[in-house]
Amino acid sequence: MPNVTELWVYLAATPLFGLTATLGVYVAASALYERLERAPWANPVLWSVVVLALLLSATDTPYQTYFSGAQFIHFLLGPAVVALAWPLWQRRAELRTRAGALLLAALAGGAAASGSAVGIGWALGLPPAVIASLAPKSVTAPVAMGIAEQLGGIPALAAVFAVLTGLVGAITAKLLLDTARVRSPAVRGFALGTASHGVGAARALQVHPDAGAYAALALGLQVLLAALLLPLIARLF
């Protein structure tokens, strides 16, 4: 049926394809996640990425063609980072009274995540460009890309690392924090936002409102701290 093939070739090359596929797959993955009672392993970002990657491979669609449509969703990451000012501002009173503790925990957690990623990468003999792309991995993707570029990393790879880091946190944090006997939702949320940015924060938000609020707060702090400090620290080496 040449007509069907022609139609597919036409549709797959328009931005409509990437946009529709992303939203369609994500909506389906989210519905499944809800039905599975939000089990960590059913994370909708993970399964959306897997299904879309398989779909692109199976149909021989280049990533650029897919991205010409998906970029409309990707673009919203910028305004979303700006919008983080809102949850931060809403909790300004708490922020002020607990500023010291929160700042110290954000600094310690961020430094530990970034430092151990670079250290492990170096010890395992990864190339310098890959290590530089690992350094900002606990910061939300668009900011991680900007920082990686300044550090001599590969922005697109840094963004993938950031998303994978988010997924690792969202999927394993429950088990890890249960084992460490960290029970307060606020502390658990803050840790998730610090070590696995937006993907972790999205998970925290689904579990408990306090956890979600502190995750958004940690995410905002991590963005500010990493954007300010990582390039300065990299200059020392």
Partner 1 sequence: MDALKGFTLLLLCQSAGEALARLAQWPLPGPVLGLVLLGALLQWPAVRAPIEAAAQPLLGHLSLLFVPVGVGVIGHLGLIGQYGVRMMLALVLSTWVGLLVAALVLQSLLPRDAEAPLAR
Binder to partner 1 among 17, 121, 132, 207 (CB under 8 A)? 121
- Residues numbered 169-198 forming contacts with partner 1, rule: CB under 8 A: 169, 172-173, 176-177, 180, 182-188, 190-192, 194-196, 198
**Rounded least distance, CB 2 to partner 1, Å:** 28
Asked if 40 is part of the footprint of partner 1 (rule: CB under 8 A), the reply reads: no
Per residue in 192-223, is it b (16+ CB within 10 Å) or e — as a string? bbbbbbbbbbbbbbebbebbbbbbbbbbbbbb
- Residues numbered 49-68 forming contacts with partner 1, rule: CB under 8 A: 49, 52-53, 56-57, 63, 66-67
Binder to partner 1 among 11, 31, 36, 101 (CB under 8 A)? 101
**Rounded least distance, CB 13 to partner 1, Å:** 17
Asked if 207 is part of the footprint of partner 1 (rule: CB under 8 A), the reply reads: no
CA within 13 Å, CB half, 54: 7
Binder to partner 1 among 10, 24, 156, 178 (CB under 8 A)? 156
Q: Which is nearer to partner 1, 6 or 75 (CB)?
A: 75
Binder to partner 1 among 28, 42, 105, 233 (CB under 8 A)? 105
- The H-assigned helical ranges of 75-208 are 77-83, 85-90, 92-97, 99-123, 128-134, 141-151, 155-179, 185-207
Phi-psi region of 38 (alpha: psi -120 to 50; beta: other; left: phi over 0): left
Q: Which is nearer to partner 1, 11 or 112 (CB)?
A: 112
- Token readout for 223 is 């963005």
d(CA 108, CA 13): 46
